[in-house]
Chain A
Amino acid sequence: MAEIELRQVAKKFGNLWAVKPMDLTIHDGEFVALLGPSGCGKTTTLRMISGLEAVTAGRVYINGEDVTWLSASQRNIAFVFQFFALYPQMTVRQNIAFPLESQGMKRALINQRVDEVVKILRIEHLLQRKPGALSGGDKQRVALARALVRKPACFLMDEPLGALDAEFREAMRAEIKRLHLAQHATTVYVTHDQVEAMAMGDRIVVMSAAEIQQIGTPAEVYHTPTNLFVANFIGSPGMNLVPGKYADGRVHLPGGSVCTVPPAWQPALAALPSDDVILGFRPEATQVSDTGALRGTVYASDLHGSYTMLHISLERTGRINGNGGDKIVHIRTRRDVAYPLGTEIRFDLDPEMMRFFDPKSEKALSKEARG
């Protein structure tokens, strides 16, 4: 049992806000991903939950109890770090048993706990080995087993997969999630990798510049990002964000393309202080068509295995994003049609998947509620 609540928690290093005052409630049994680029404050937030970092302001509650001034060891929380901090001279069994031994637990109970946990993680066959003889993935499983064996009320994980090769990362990601589904321990998971956050989190807390940008389920942060930062950060590539001018139910885009705005969006666009607006759409919310309303030329085209990503220049000045150059948009297509560089192409957007943003505030506009 662990419900974690942060009330106006903040951290300052000197004059610098590492975390601006934030409110966050993590429910019992929930898996929450703290996601953001390096330096956004996610690790500091995690350390304040753990007690490794003192807060500058605000309060931390675990199960309603104010733990703001309790030390890390008094909070019954397990930390899993990125690094395989295993004792090289001990066997796997000794490594996993170590936290229980230092608590003075009885031998029989320790053995029982270790046997349980190695079964869940499928590392029974490794018990007599030394860490030096293990693969990266197995070392990480042992590190995880050592955290798990204490049966903590809550897991705090700081980029635990960061040091792993890509080939293990996918499997370990599923392993940790599987474990969570079996045990339902409250988990706070820090990562800079949006794929990990999406795949694992019940909810995602997107952070940037020491502030929470959005809290939501994977579907919410993907389909209804609250601002330009989240729209760009979530997805690979992120949402296409194209500046345009709004007039009479249409957005005029660079290169002469015109996008018809669905009626439900029109009041929000008309209410903007100027005619400047940013159109957002996901690469998969597009359809190549001879009569498409948007047009451009193929700037690059690449295979991603099961599909092709086309990179389209909406203008044809030969230059790219920024510096008054062309805007490149990414559209996802089937891989059985080839589009050579320079091909002129037309495409349509799925009206349900269009999003609009205010370029000044960088916030998402809201559609008129359906009557």
Chain B
Amino acid sequence: MSQITLKNITKRFGVVTALNDVSFEIRDAELFVLLGPTGAGKTTTLRIIAGLTKQDAGSVCFDGQSVDALPPADRDVAFVFQQYSLYPNMTVYENLAFPLRAPLRRMKEEEIKKRVTETAEVLRIGHLLQRKTARLSGGEMQRVAIGRAIVRSPRVYLMDEPLSNLDAKLREALRVELSHLQRTQGSTTLFVTHDQIEALTMADRIAVLNHGRIVQVGTPEDIYDRPATAFVAQLVGSPKINLLPARAEGGALIVANSAIRLPVGETRHAPHHLPPEFILGVRPEDVRLDPTGMFVGEIVLIEPLGVETLLHIKNGEQVIVSTVSGIAPARIGETVRFQVVRERLHFFDRVSGARLM
């Protein structure tokens, strides 16, 4: 049982402000993902929670109690890093038992054995217990590293890009397992990543961090469906959202340098008071080929991904990406008609990037 609160955390390294007034709460038993590009301040946040880095201002609380004065060892957190950091000459069993053998714990050998066996079972590394870790594959090593974190039931798990070093197939498999494990064990977890797919698929809630500031906190659905800024909109979703410069004029939304104009009357979901210029956001799955569609364009690029095909459609100077299912029988140079899903349009401020409704 633990709940973590960060209150107005600021951290500077010399003249660089790594974290600027960061506040959020990780609920008990929640898988909370911190998502952001390289250099956003994700790892610094995690280190401050663990007590490995001291903040310049603000406070960290576990279950309502400040832990600012506690050294890392007394905060009872478990780390899983991108690098496995296992003892290569020990067996998997010894690696898993190691955290339980800390002198202060005085755990009985019987109890240690029980915990190690259970953990190995959960992570399906039971058959590897007698193996030296140096002889494991990357995926197996990362399972052991995760096992070493969960074996001692800490108050909170801090995971810093634990899947980044694995190849795509292993990453997919471990993502599913971690997500299952966390939900069945109900452990409070902070998971740091720059990978939007990891964030969307694993999180109960996501905090998006950019330049040391929290930009948005929400469920994966919130972040995907109602991104708070144009930055968040283009950070999540693959293929990326189409962001088009647009203006409101004579009762219509007009996309710059194109023949795309949407009568505002039909766009019930458009903000009532749009500024004269703004950014229009349309997700590729909301751009649909439709023989009766009101827009026309030329296919300039086709990217067949298997499950779906990305069509790049040119209208005027703008190129809009549309996702169609399967391997589409499209040709480059072909003229197509398309439609956009009106109720799923996004509007952002041209300067600040803030969501306009």
Contacts and interface: CB of A to CB of B under 8 A. Distances in A.
Do chains A and B interact in one complex? Answer: yes
A177 interface: yes
A303 B200 contact: yes
B303 A174 contact: yes
Contacts of B179: 300, 302
Contacts, number: 117
B180 interface: yes
A85 interface: no
Interface in A142-194: 165-167, 170-171, 173-174, 177-178, 181, 192-194
B238 interface: yes
Contacts of A181: 300-301, 332
A232 B168 CA distance: 11
Given A306-B285, A323-B126, A237 B307 contact: no
Given A302-B201, A309-B201, A166 B196 contact: yes
A38 B167 contact: yes
Interface residues of B, number: 50
Contact of B124 (A170, A174, A218, A322): A322
Contacts of A302: 175-176, 179, 200-202
Given A174-B301, A192-B167, A222 B327 contact: yes
A287 to B, nearest CB: 14
A322 B143 CA distance: 14
Given A181-B332, A218-B304, A304-B200, A37 B167 contact: yes
Nearest to A37: B167
Given A284-B325, A323-B124, A306 B283 contact: yes
Interface in A293-322: 299-300, 302-306, 309, 311, 319-322
Contact of A170 (B239, B304, B332): B239
Contact of A282 (B38, B200, B285, B307): B307
Contacts of B240: 167, 170-171
Contact of A177 (B183, B194, B235, B301): B301
B307 A332 contact: yes
Given A199-B310, A319-B124, A322-B124, A303 B305 contact: no
Given A303-B221, A320-B177, A198 B301 contact: no
Contacts of A238: 169
A305 B237 contact: yes
A174 B239 CA distance: 11
Interface in A222-251: 222-223, 232-238
Contact of B184 (A166, A193, A341): A341
A306 to B, nearest CB: 4
22 contacts: A165-B38, A165-B194, A166-B196, A167-B240, A170-B238, A171-B240, A174-B301, A174-B312, A193-B168, A218-B304, A218-B327, A219-B304, A235-B307, A300-B183, A302-B176, A302-B179, A305-B224, A305-B237, A305-B283, A321-B124, A323-B127, A325-B124
Interface of B: 37-38, 121, 124, 126-127, 167-169, 172-173, 175-177, 179-180, 183-184, 194-197, 200-202, 220-221, 224, 234-240, 283, 285, 300-301, 303-307, 310, 312, 323, 325, 327, 332
Given A198-B306, A199-B310, A222-B327, 14 more contacts: A167-B240, A174-B303, A174-B312, A192-B167, A198-B305, A219-B327, A237-B172, A284-B325, A299-B180, A303-B200, A304-B200, A319-B121, A320-B177, A323-B127
